[in-house]
Structure 1
């Protein structure tokens, strides 16, 4: 069963997330509103990975599941995105186990319990 739900606003074809631990929203809830995505992830005990601040704002008022990884690096090329995410992804996953919200910025990673 997948552990991570990739939101539609992130690349569909991304080699780092091409394993059975990840599922892209396009494969299950293509046009679903955020509330339905949230419920799906919560029911399945998943982490939502998104560029959408709505999920990170919502988790501030809730307890996991779901957990949220907020990718907040701005507009970048796919190559730059891959480079940034690949370099820090093991750390992000470790932090995701301890914190309900992990925010990825271009130059640092932040987390909130």
Structure 2
């Protein structure tokens, strides 16, 4: 089951999320740990890779919101604004909301996942 989505999970989120997105959600997903500079990859390099490969950046870093709104980079953004959350709870949240997230990412460029809901920013 492939969603056709290409994703890039940022350093503040666990590698297990990228693994789940690849194996269970059928996405082409990288984690910053897969990149040459690993979790030290600068935000600008993440945005550039996102633009080159049309990848959705999944991040907790609000700096990506500013660059997205001001410069249209990264390609697309899923902001995870859950605050501190266990990896198991985060994975459960993605499992619960994934069908809606995947569908929305085909239409919209900036989404936000909170503990309670998926927000679509226009």
With structure 2 as the length reference, what TM-score do the two structures score?
A: 0.82
2:8 corresponding residue in structure 1: 5
Unmatched 5+ residue regions in structure 1?
Answer: none
Kept in 1: contact 2:9–2:59 (CA 8 A):
yes
What is the aligned-residue RMSD (CA, Å)?
2.0
Unmatched 5+ residue regions in structure 2?
Answer: none
| Residue 25 (structure 1) aligned with residue 32 (structure 2) | yes
Q: Runs of 4+ in structure 1 displaced over 3 angstroms?
A: 62-65
With structure 1 as the length reference, what TM-score do the two structures score?
A: 0.88
Kept in 2: contact 1:69–1:102 (CA 8 A):
yes
CA distance in 1: counterparts of 2:103 and 2:76, whole angstroms: 13
| Residue 36 (structure 1) aligned with residue 39 (structure 2) | no
- Cα distance change of structure 1 residues 9 and 72 upon mapping to structure 2, 3 Å threshold: same
Query: Could you say what secondary structure the match of 1:98 adopts?
Result: coil
- Cα distance change of structure 1 residues 94 and 62 upon mapping to structure 2, 3 Å threshold: farther
Say how many residue pairs are matched: 113
Kept in 2: contact 1:16–1:86 (CA 8 A):
no
Kept in 1: contact 2:9–2:57 (CA 8 A):
yes
| Residue 72 (structure 1) aligned with residue 81 (structure 2) | yes
